[in-house]
Structure 1
Amino acid sequence: MPKTFIGMCFAIAMLAAGCGALEPVVLQRATDAPAAESEARLETVAPTAAPTETLLPPTDTPTQPPTATPTAPPTATTEPTVTPMLSPIDRMVAARNPEKGKILFETFQDDAGSGYSCSNCHLPTSEKTNIGPGLLNIKQRAATRVEGLSAAEYIYESITNSMGYTVEGFEADLMPQNWAEIYTDPEIFDIVAYLLTLEGESDIDDPDPAAGGSESASD
């Protein structure tokens, strides 16, 4: 029995060696099996669902209402203060010495007519008339004598040209006409500066003799 089995096996082996077609068939089947298993596995794997995008409705961002900017109340516009322009005479008088002018006002001058001082005819501490009008508060009266002339300009003109303006009730030639020859301009400016300091309480009912015909333009 063993010999018979061995003989059969040998015969089969020889047959196989001589044929040459059996081995490829076996190999083909061996290689086909794994491929079939791979395809079977692919068929049995459940497909994975792709994730779906969840769309959320946009949310409104709350907007803060604009806040009103506080506005400062308008301020009243201040009207600019207009400073009157000073004339050359005003500037010269403002720079002079009233004390020196007082001395000149009281100084007797032989060449003034028949010999006078300003104080011989004009009272510096009263509005009442002496020979000429009193000069207390002359600054206020002189400022309104001639339109366009300041008090300093009017007094200067009255000293240097007393015929230029004459108040009703006075003679134009009552005042000496040569004060501009006796005094220099700077000295006359000193006198004017002094006269502008003569201020005080009025001692007559009507402080302006021009209204009653008792003052001259030469004051």
Structure 2
Amino acid sequence: MIATIKGTLVEANPTIALVEIGGIGYEVHIPLTTMEKLPSPGVQVFLYTHTVYREDSQAIFGFHAKDERDFFRMLIEKVSGIGPKIALRIMSKLSIAMLKSAIISSDVSLLAKCPGIGAKTAERLIIELKDKVSPSIASNSRLPHQGLDATSSTTSRDLMVDAITALSTLGFKFPDADKAIRRASQELGPNATIEELIKQALG
């Protein structure tokens, strides 16, 4: 199994990073938390990886930090109904610290707000992982976060993520989309809707 990958970052969007190694480009699926920490294109990047093999294909999933990769593995290996793509969506919506805290406190409503997760899956996630996440791990697991602050309210974080992703799909490069939405959020205040954020960012 490919455990790490080190090469030149060719390009990236909120879900995929293209990394060149020895003239070969590897498509690496990433969560938004990793996207926020990627260097500029042309700069060397190092990612912890997990590879999923299927009969007719294989997919590489990359993470900025080892504990992100390990938590991803725990999600897809221990929780029935959560595959790699849903796991990435969960980790793009909530930080590792918030996820672990939600599991320990049995916060079904918070977990159910993640894309692809309903109340039943959230309950199953808590049951399967609660004994694997200790309070000390949760309290010490905050990652350095240059992007959306893990301590901000879930609603604000959700809106920011959705707004940044929306701008990215419109052709904005991630750093530009991130900067524009942050500026719009500061100008409009915490009660702005996603539509208002995008409209303000577009000028």
Alignment TM-score, normalising by the size of structure 2: 0.29
The higher radius of gyration belongs to 1
In terms of fraction of residues, the more strand-rich structure is: 2
The structure with higher relative contact order (CA 8 Å, sep 6+) is: 1
In terms of fraction of residues, the more helix-rich structure is: 2
Alignment TM-score, normalising by the size of structure 1: 0.27
